[in-house]
Chain A
Amino acid sequence: MKILVCMSQVPDTTTKVRFTPDGKSFDATGVQWVINPWDELSLTRALELKDDASTGVTQVTVAHVGPVGNEPTIRKALAIGADDAIRVNTESNDAFVVSSQLAEAIRQNPYDIILCGIESCDFNGSSVGGMVAEMLGYPSVSAVSSLKIENGQAILSREIDGGKEILTVPTPFVAIVQKGITKEPRIAAMRGIMVARTKPLKVMEPIATEPLTSLLQFEKPQPRAACKLIDAENPQQLIELLQNEAKVI
């Protein structure tokens, strides 16, 4: 069984988000790039499954759509333990374009399980997993918080309002992964970093697709009014403000 982990690269989650003065693009000056946190968790879960011989998982590949400058982030995924990687050589500004490229890569070289994160923490699109699945005609399960393979059968749990559902789905399928899929992301060890340099990273040229959306402008949220401090000895005052000023209780 082969697993493909779709991976995006995002600014480190502590980044102070800034935009160019015209507000049209993200200001990447001094930004540290990391693997999107959910993709890192997906990769970790894929590697855990591969470590357990009973699952029959023999290969974990990561796929990324992006320019050559993103390769250090792909190498990180290889250092963490992915066997090989695919990079589709194009900018990733529209979910439909990204998904079309991933779907094409999968058509050329199919996988049994495709893992995508529930969103990327830059564009918060929550789109790629579902789009790839629809393009390939595969089933998709969203909000997956656990993935096991028992006797060749994938067993997933998915979060629903107020609880979870356990379900089975035949391969090939797309699982759109969220919190819970594994405890902690796996970290690259020194040896992993050494061998990552020699692991296969295949570059594919993009197929022609038109973006369906375009990004016009970014804006920062309105700064909030300064915080009103209330005396710790007198919390009644807070309750009065919430009731009469904010009118929320």
Chain B
Amino acid sequence: MAILVFTENWEGKFKKLSYELASYAARIAEMMNLPAMALTIGNPDPDELEKLGHYGLKKILVAHGKNLGTLDNQVYASIIGDIALQVSASVLILSNNGTGKALAPRLAVRLKAGLASGVNGLPISTEPFVLRKRAYSGNAFAHVAIHTPVKILTLSQNSFELIDKQSKAEIETFQVTPDSNLMKTKVTDVQKQTGKLLLTDAEIVVSGGRGMKSPDNWGPLIELADLLGAALACSRPVSDEGWRSHEEHTGQTGKVIAPNLYFAVGISGATQHLAGVSSSKYIVAVNTDKDAPVFEAAQYGIVGDALKVLPKLVEAVREMKSK
């Protein structure tokens, strides 16, 4: 028996999310007295594998194979499902990111396993197996019990600390030949920006709303983000108006994020917006309206005109950085 965690790699590399998943799996493995194993598909760099191993994994399984460069849900689910059976995984963990959401439900059916998605911490108990998960779009948490012998969960990003144990994992590489009948999707084009900090990975996010008045006013917001190494986000009307790209839209119908710090500038704080950002550790609000609901969600606030406050904030950050 084992705790199995699926850690995808991005062109051979892992990221913070992967170490979070490994740390989490290792911790559950300790709770249940089982070994923690990771599975990755593709050709990860050896250094990257070694680093992933530091987070308390006993073993890392690396599946190589042809035509596995793009995600085909059926093929990937069959590979992960087979491995889960081979190692008798009692708990299978995926990220609650796009890949995890695409695969976990298919795996739940394959393995006849109960699924809890958007879990944000360790099990409340392992016997029975009870997890705390996001519900009502961030307005609540639900405690869910999984009754099946195999349990699957997807872990929300930024919800578990990294625990670097400087441990060493055994690496086992093997070849997989997926059933060609399963490979039904065909990717014909990829449009991707590389090297850009992803909103979902960012520790700090600077976000603008309709209170920014015009797309021409984004300059100081971008400057603030650059100085802080932050990613940019926006409210839905801002992306609907085409002021900013859809990729930056956060909230119930956009991206759900949980950075350490979220700047909400000229954003009223509608429930649908907060649904996407309420798991941020700290929220800073800048708004002219002292009664704006965003101040109820924020720990720090400035009541004032964003267009006047932002240049001063940029100055203050620049000064801090120069010290």
Contact = CB atoms under 8 A, between A and B. Distances in A.
Interface of A: 11, 13-15, 17, 19, 26, 37-38, 95-96, 99, 118-119, 121-131, 133-135, 139-143, 155, 159-170, 173, 176, 179-180, 211-221, 224-225, 227-233, 235-236, 238-239, 241-243, 246, 248-249
B297 A134 contact: no
A127 B295 CA distance: 34
A124 B138 CA distance: 9
B135 A124 contact: yes
Interface of A is mostly: mixed
Contacts of B252: 13, 37, 121
Interface string B239-268: 000000010010011100000110000000
A125 B254 CA distance: 16
B16 interface: no
A95 B101 CA distance: 13
B28 interface: no
A232 B303 contact: yes
Given A96-B115, A130-B101, A160-B98, 15 more contacts: A118-B101, A125-B115, A131-B105, A134-B106, A140-B106, A141-B185, A162-B196, A216-B143, A220-B139, A224-B298, A229-B302, A230-B300, A232-B305, A236-B316, A242-B261
A185 to B, nearest CB: 10
B70 interface: yes
Contact of A179 (B186, B249, B284, B313): B249
B223 to A, nearest CB: 14
Nearest to A130: B105
Contacts of A126: 96, 101, 104-105, 117-118, 154
Nearest to A120: B137
A176 B99 CA distance: 12
Nearest to B271: A14
28 contacts: A17-B139, A37-B252, A95-B115, A99-B105, A121-B136, A124-B137, A128-B105, A130-B73, A131-B106, A134-B105, A142-B101, A143-B98, A155-B188, A160-B71, A162-B192, A165-B70, A168-B186, A212-B148, A213-B115, A214-B147, A215-B142, A215-B145, A221-B138, A232-B304, A238-B316, A249-B261, A249-B317, A249-B320
Contact of B147 (A180, A212, A220, A230): A212
A232 B309 contact: yes
B74 A218 contact: no
B139 to A, nearest CB: 4
B276 to A, nearest CB: 11
A115 to B, nearest CB: 15
Contact of A13 (B105, B154, B271, B278): B271
B114 interface: yes
B146 interface: yes
B60 interface: no
Q: Tell which of B204, B249, B317 has the most Cβ of chain A within 10 Å.
A: B317
Interface string B62-103: 000000001111100100000000000000000011100111
Contacts of B319: 236
Contacts of B133: 124
Interface of B: 10, 70-74, 77, 96-98, 101-106, 108-110, 112-118, 130, 132-148, 154, 184-194, 196, 198, 200, 203-204, 228, 246, 249, 252-254, 260-261, 270-272, 275, 278, 281-285, 295-305, 308-309, 312-313, 316-317, 319-320
Nearest to B78: A134
Given A163-B190, A239-B316, A246-B299, A219 B140 contact: yes
Nearest to A94: B114
B116 to A, nearest CB: 7
Contacts of A216: 130, 143-145
A224 B281 CA distance: 10
A221 B198 CA distance: 26
A134 B187 contact: no
B147 A167 contact: no
Given A13-B252, A213-B145, A227 B74 contact: no
B140 A161 contact: no
Nearest to A159: B98
A169 B185 CA distance: 5
Contacts of A19: 140
A218 B10 contact: no
B21 to A, nearest CB: 15
Contacts of B303: 229, 232
B231 to A, nearest CB: 11
A129 B296 CA distance: 35
Nearest to A229: B301
B299 A225 contact: yes
A212 B187 contact: no
A218 B135 contact: yes
A167 B186 contact: yes
Nearest to A37: B253
Contact of A168 (B97, B185, B196, B228): B185
Nearest to B319: A236
B138 A127 contact: no
Given A13-B252, A214-B147, A127 B285 contact: no
